[in-house]
Structure 1
Amino acid sequence: MNLSNKRWFQVLVGFILVFLLIYLIYITRFIFDPLFKYVGAVAFPFIAAGLLFYLTKPILKLLMKYKVPKLVAILLVFILIIVVGYVFTIFVIPIAQDQYTRFINNIPSMIKGAEDVIDYIQDNQKIIPDEVYNTIDNIMANLQTYFEGFMTFLLGFITQVIGFVFSLVLVPFFLFFMFKDGDKFIPFVTQIFEPKKASNLRNLLRKIDHTLSAYIQGQLLVSLSIGIMLFIGYLIIDLNYALALALFGMMMCIVPFIGPFIAVIPAVIVGVFQDPMNVVWIALIMIIAQQIEGNFISPNIMGHVLRIHPLTIITIILAAGSIAGFIGILFAVPFYAVVKTIIVHFWETYQDTRKNKEDALI
């Protein structure tokens, strides 16, 4: 058999051509600068509209199922988004902002309390080695510097968010056309292919759409559920800044697997200064929330669409964080899920083709 007809050789040549294409794009990237700038300008409104599209698509489908005209259904979805945004802005954000301001103003007294505790331990405990005290003293001496650095980072992040707000003007337009013409995308892409390949590509695009839909709807709804459960739990134990801490926990839970661990850190810090016993209650609240989410919410929302092992998620998040920072952490898992869907699809296609050839030879 000719070497060029062997499957492994064709795959190898394909990989080489892909890497050559990437290398050529890299060395001629100055040609693509205008394109990259254009993509960067529309990336945020496109991604924001895409998130809203996948979140509200079930509502649009439900309305259309009951014979509501498509344009009317789109208008109702937009009204729902506006109402939810208005309620959130009027009733939730002011309370959270007030709690956040009080928390920031209370930080100096919290730092002073921590210093008093350390001083007490140093004065009444001689078992701990001096090196440990020196390390603690160094941390406490620079605690204000660390906090100022964190606040500088936070202010820079807020500045970027404000810049993104100006891009929000484009989001409704993107979202409207996604709703209106989204079902035309797959036929438009597949029309240039022969029927068999077009059918294969349609199946692939539907699988990618299903994967993205399951991940985005699932992860955001899971985060919302955990945020509500944390808020209820914090109210029960009368934790200070309950709403702000629950909102922080909800946002952090968007990050798969490691998000819940980050979510409770501010709550634990606040709880320690309010009442050390709160640490136990906060841990118990998070465990209960995680158990409810893991056993009831996630299986019913995401199902088994993603099928990604937790160790794989940790590895992906660590790698993406070192390469692209927080943005990489947010988009690493859905990107991996899409790539996995594509690879699995082509592998199944190859297996089916191979089986059909074997059946034909029998």
Structure 2
Amino acid sequence: MSQESKNKLKNSWFYHLMVDNKYINILYILIIVAVLIFLFAVISPIFKPVWTFIQIVSLPIILAAVFYYLTIPLVNWLCNKGIRRLYGAWIVLLFIALILFLLSLLIPDLIDQGQSFIRDWQTIWQAYREEVNQFLPTGWQSEVQSFVNDFMHNYQLENFNWQSILNRTVNSIGSFVGVLSRIIIAIFTAPIILFYMLKEGDKLPAKIASFLPIKVRQKSLTLLTEMNEQISQYIRGQILVAISVAIMFVIGYNIIGLQYGAVIGVAAGFLNIIPYLGSFLGMIPAIIIAIVSGPSMILKVAIVFAIEQTIESRVISPQILGSNLEIHPITIMLLLITGGNMFGVLGVIVIIPVYAVLKVIFIHLFEWYQRVSGLYDEADILPESNKDN
């Protein structure tokens, strides 16, 4: 094609409408993305072996990553004191082994108490219902159930079914043999992965960026750094707060003499990993047992809960979590509902850090799109009088 023909084509209405048009180009991109998603859905069975491999290696990697984010500040502190990173990694591994050994000494007592709690639960629940029925009018259960059903329907929460979530979790985990084999693999491989993460984890972002073009390398490093900060902030913060909550509840319940206080306190700490819902769910068994035990125990449990909430919200959370992830509470609730119904209990736990990472990626992509598209240039929408000035 001659230069004259090329110029004629560029000046044609077709070129300006279908090629040199920002909005049409956006439509092209959306169509390509939709086609790629459709093709991936069609050929997804091909990747089943890959998914099986990911399921096998995911548990040790997740365990190693959790311990990495918990202990990497200690490794960095040792390095700042002049200790080589290799020796710092070994010291941290030995420290983790010591902590796990000490905790293993407490596990038999917790298991015994948990078994007693499960065995006596029907008796406790029956006594609880009898106590409550003495103070509430006849037919209160049907009225409460009707109110709950209306509330769930109005706020579209009827799909947030814990039984369904647990069923999905069990189904996603697989058979007992598969679970046992994965746990054994994780026990032996997670410490090895953790050691190398502690030893060379600080070099990983630069290694990844070295495979990228030079023009996008610095931006990619910034993106990886922000993603790492979001993940580390959430994992380290939530786990440390959960451990603190468990310790406070166990001490408080033992002081007031609440039956099954240790196992309930540990469960409350674990549930505290789930934002908002965790604290509420962790209090339910304690309240039920307190109602069965009598009015004085109800007051004692309320005092323990008030003290724990005050210390957690005023001291522990601000010191450990620092700045939050800037996620609206309504968004968190929607994420919990979605993660629970799609992936079970595991989805409830991991959906928020996954969302935080995706949010960072989206913000960077949107900023890039703002620069290259020209659709967000304020100069294009200024009045003519302002442009002349």
Compute the TM-score of the two structures, normalised by the length of structure 1: 0.82
Shift of 1:68: 0.6
Residue of structure 1 in register with 2:110 after alignment = 96
Residue of structure 2 in register with 1:206 after alignment = 225
Q: 1:163 to 1:57 in 2, by over 3 A?
A: same
Q: 1:295 to 1:20 in 2, by over 3 A?
A: farther
Residue of structure 1 in register with 2:119 after alignment = 105
Shift of 1:39: 0.8
Higher relative contact order (CA 8 A, sep 6+): 2
For residue 216 of structure 2, the aligned residue among 180, 185, 197 is 197
Shift of 1:40: 1.0
In structure 1, C-alpha distance between the alignment counterparts of 2:210 and 2:125, rounded to whole Å: 65
| 1:54 equivalent in alignment to 2:54 | no
Residue of structure 2 in register with 1:165 after alignment = 183
Residue of structure 2 in register with 1:78 after alignment = 93
Residue of structure 1 in register with 2:352 after alignment = 333
Residue of structure 1 in register with 2:46 after alignment = 31
In structure 2, C-alpha distance between the alignment counterparts of 1:280 and 1:8, rounded to whole Å: 64
Alignment of 1:1-362 (within 5 A): 9-90=24-105, 92-114=106-128, 117=131, 121=134, 128-129=138-139, 132=142, 162-167=180-185, 168-350=187-369
Q: Which amino acid aligns with 1:255?
A: I
Residue segments in structure 2 that go unaligned for 5+ positions in a row: 1-15, 146-162, 379-386
Q: Which amino acid aligns with 1:102?
A: S
Shift of 1:130: 9.7
In structure 1, C-alpha distance between the alignment counterparts of 2:88 and 2:141, rounded to whole Å: 67
Q: 1:271 to 1:76 in 2, by over 3 A?
A: same
Work out whether residues 124 and 292 of structure 2, in 8 Å CA contact, stay in contact via their aligned partners in 1. Answer: yes
Work out whether residues 128 and 288 of structure 2, in 8 Å CA contact, stay in contact via their aligned partners in 1. Answer: no
- Which is greater in Rg? 2
Shift of 1:273: 1.9
Residue of structure 1 in register with 2:3 after alignment = none
Q: 1:187 to 1:267 in 2, by over 3 A?
A: same
Question: Which moves more between the two structures, 299-308 or 47-56?
Answer: 299-308
Work out whether residues 131 and 291 of structure 2, in 8 Å CA contact, stay in contact via their aligned partners in 1. Answer: no
Residue segments in structure 1 that go unaligned for 5+ positions in a row: 136-148
In structure 2, C-alpha distance between the alignment counterparts of 1:8 and 1:235, rounded to whole Å: 66
Equivalent residue of 1:264, what SS? helix
Work out whether residues 211 and 305 of structure 1, in 8 Å CA contact, stay in contact via their aligned partners in 2. Answer: no
In structure 2, C-alpha distance between the alignment counterparts of 1:257 and 1:72, rounded to whole Å: 40
In structure 2, C-alpha distance between the alignment counterparts of 1:263 and 1:228, rounded to whole Å: 13
Q: Which amino acid aligns with 1:309?
A: H
1:10-45 per-position Cα deviation (integer Å, ceiling 9, x unaligned): 555444433332321221122111111111110111
Shift of 1:302: 2.2
Work out whether residues 264 and 282 of structure 1, in 8 Å CA contact, stay in contact via their aligned partners in 2. Answer: no
In structure 1, C-alpha distance between the alignment counterparts of 2:23 and 2:245, rounded to whole Å: 47
1:194-235 per-position Cα deviation (integer Å, ceiling 9, x unaligned): 333100000000000010010000000111111112122212
In structure 1, C-alpha distance between the alignment counterparts of 2:288 and 2:372, rounded to whole Å: 58
1:99-157 per-position Cα deviation (integer Å, ceiling 9, x unaligned): 11222332343245346558x85xx99x6249859x9xxxxxxxxxxxxx99x98xx79
Work out whether residues 223 and 250 of structure 1, in 8 Å CA contact, stay in contact via their aligned partners in 2. Answer: yes
Q: 1:105 to 1:340 in 2, by over 3 A?
A: same
In structure 2, C-alpha distance between the alignment counterparts of 1:224 and 1:131, rounded to whole Å: 36
Work out whether residues 246 and 266 of structure 2, in 8 Å CA contact, stay in contact via their aligned partners in 1. Answer: yes
Q: 1:28 to 1:84 in 2, by over 3 A?
A: same
Work out whether residues 96 and 244 of structure 1, in 8 Å CA contact, stay in contact via their aligned partners in 2. Answer: yes
Q: Which amino acid aligns with 1:166?
A: I
Equivalent residue of 1:260, what SS? helix
In structure 2, C-alpha distance between the alignment counterparts of 1:188 and 1:130, rounded to whole Å: 64
Q: 1:183 to 1:20 in 2, by over 3 A?
A: farther
Q: 1:347 to 1:286 in 2, by over 3 A?
A: farther
Equivalent residue of 2:52, what SS? helix
1:236-279 per-position Cα deviation (integer Å, ceiling 9, x unaligned): 32111221111000110011121100111111122222224433
Q: Which amino acid aligns with 1:193?
A: L
Work out whether residues 95 and 243 of structure 1, in 8 Å CA contact, stay in contact via their aligned partners in 2. Answer: no
In structure 2, C-alpha distance between the alignment counterparts of 1:298 and 1:256, rounded to whole Å: 12
Work out whether residues 268 and 278 of structure 1, in 8 Å CA contact, stay in contact via their aligned partners in 2. Answer: no
Shift of 1:98: 2.1
